[in-house]
């Protein structure tokens, strides 16, 4: 198959997730893969030097190559994104004619997603929309109502909608996707990537000035407005005892607010802001944790989404506490080894209870077994490959 992927972010700079994993693992199976990006974060000067078409090395599988397309843009900032909304159709038509895909897989919504549906219909190329989140609620914006309209258009008109969890598919169906043209394909995860040595953990604890005997509650991911992190920090300040530390790996729009809150509560001595870390270093940081947490607010956006951080925690053999999100409950069930709580403010107290649980190691082993069964690269990639082959066959 010739498969063209599409997203409205920077392929080379975005933290690694399934938008990199599916393309590169499908390339490893012998398929010809291309990717259309929006050059998010690039300056005007760098875009002048950026070629329209470039052969690149994979970021997950460095022995694989794919073709990266970068439609011309004035800049990688907000203005450049707005302009791309109006210029993308012409760019994608040129790309499709050049790459000649059998199928297009789109992760994009407002910047280039609805336009891609129109172009693919006109050129008679089947398009699968890969649904990962509720796009119009990811960020607070005056454009949210327009983004929701774009979502509805895509769900109704894509040749197929593939969701990363059952709750996400339910959301797409509620906005017009057709059940006969929708499915759930779980994301892939390289479990072996998350194994670490004790020496690396010891080194990193010393570097961050965390005692070797400390109980560490760890959060990894973006600091979004619905992250639940202010509630987590407040609960930590109120309930922490003895040798307990909080490690926050990542960054985002809440960073300044969270640092100010930590200072206000006078808990800087026990909180570590680790910043963004590379995919290669991530397992070492996860190994710091006694318990990992996902305190996201329960809402439309978080209930439908599937937090990738949770399966990465599980792959690192960590006990996990999360708010009771529909995507997690429907994927893992009520009786899994995940610990669910109702609100973000309850997450730290639940994590504290696990610190003294004598079965902590068994919980971690159980989590690893679950992700091995549900999210193996082989199973996830073969399921996606089969779905794309069926989609191509149905279009002929």
String of b and e for 85-120 (b: at least 16 CB within 10 Å)?
A: bebbbebbbebbeebebbbbbbbbbbbbbbbbbebb
pTM of the model: 0.87
Please, how many CA atoms are within 13 Å of residue 328, restricted to the half-sphere of its CB? Answer: 27
For residues 220 and 210, give the distance between their C-alpha atoms in angstroms, rounded to a whole number.
17
pLDDT in tens, 235-254: 999 999 999 999 999 998 89
For residues 180 and 163, give the distance between their C-alpha atoms in angstroms, rounded to a whole number.
13
In this structure, the number of other CB atoms found within 10 A of the CB of residue 363 comes to 20
Beta-bridge mates of residue 74: none
In degrees, rounded to 5, the angle at the alpha carbon of residue 297 between the alpha carbons of residues 294 and 300 is 115
Beta-bridge mates of residue 107: none
Domains of the chain: 2-188+377-394 (3.40.50.2000), 191-374 (3.40.50.2000)
Q: What is the mean pLDDT of residues 303-315?
A: 91
CA quadruple 22, 26, 27, 32: dihedral sign: negative
Res 225: pLDDT = 86
Pick from 34, 28, 27, 38: nearest CA to 5: 34
pLDDT in tens, 95-115: 999 999 999 999 999 999 999
pLDDT in tens, 29-79: 999 999 999 998 888 888 888 899 999 999 999 999 999 999 988 788 888
Estimate to the nearest angstrom the gap between the alpha carbon of 17 and the chain centroid.
Answer: 5
């Amino acid at each position: 198959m010739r498969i063209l992927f599409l997203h409205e972010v920077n392929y080379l700079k975005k933290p690694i997730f399934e938008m990199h994993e599916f393309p590169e693992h499908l390339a490893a199976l012998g398929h010809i893969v291309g990717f259309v990006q929006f050059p998010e974060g690039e300056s005007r000067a760098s875009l002048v030097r950026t070629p329209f078409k470039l052969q690149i090395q994979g970021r997950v599988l460095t022995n694989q190559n794919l073709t990266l397309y970068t439609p011309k843009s004035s800049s990688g900032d907000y203005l450049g994104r707005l302009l791309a909304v109006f210029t993308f159709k012409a760019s994608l038509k040129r790309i499709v004619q050049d790459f000649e895909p059998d199928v297009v897989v789109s992760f994009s919504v407002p910047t280039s997603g609805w336009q891609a549906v129109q172009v693919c219909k006109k050129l008679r190329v089947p398009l699968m929309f890969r649904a990962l989140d509720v796009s119009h609620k990811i960020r607070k914006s005056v454009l949210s109502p327009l983004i929701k309209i774009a979502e509805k258009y895509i769900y109704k008109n894509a040749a197929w909608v593939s969701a990363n969890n059952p709750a996400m598919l339910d959301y797409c169906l509620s906005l017009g996707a057709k059940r006969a043209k929708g499915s759930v394909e779980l994301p892939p995860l390289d479990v072996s990537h998350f194994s670490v040595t004790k020496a690396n953990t010891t080194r990193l604890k010393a570097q961050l000035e965390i005692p070797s005997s400390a109980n560490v509650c760890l959060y990894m991911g973006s600091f979004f407005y619905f992250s639940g992190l202010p509630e987590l920090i407040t609960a930590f300040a109120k309930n922490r005892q003895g040798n307990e530390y909080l490690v926050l790996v990542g960054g985002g729009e809440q960073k300044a607010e969270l640092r100010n809150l930590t200072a206000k509560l006078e808990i800087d001595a026990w909180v570590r802001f680790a910043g963004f870390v590379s995919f290669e270093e991530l397992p070492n940081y996860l190994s710091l944790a006694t318990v990992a947490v996902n305190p996201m607010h329960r809402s439309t956006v978080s209930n439908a989404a599937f937090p990738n951080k949770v399966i990465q925690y599980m792959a690192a053999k960590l006990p996990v506490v999360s708010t009771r999100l529909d995507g997690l409950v429907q994927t893992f069930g009520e009786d899994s080894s995940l610990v669910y709580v109702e609100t973000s403010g309850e997450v730290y107290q639940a994590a504290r209870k696990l610190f003294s649980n004598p079965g902590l190691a068994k919980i971690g082993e159980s989590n690893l077994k679950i992700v091995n069964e549900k999210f193996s690269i082989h199973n996830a990639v073969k399921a996606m490959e089969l779905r794309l082959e069926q989609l191509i066959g149905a279009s002929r």
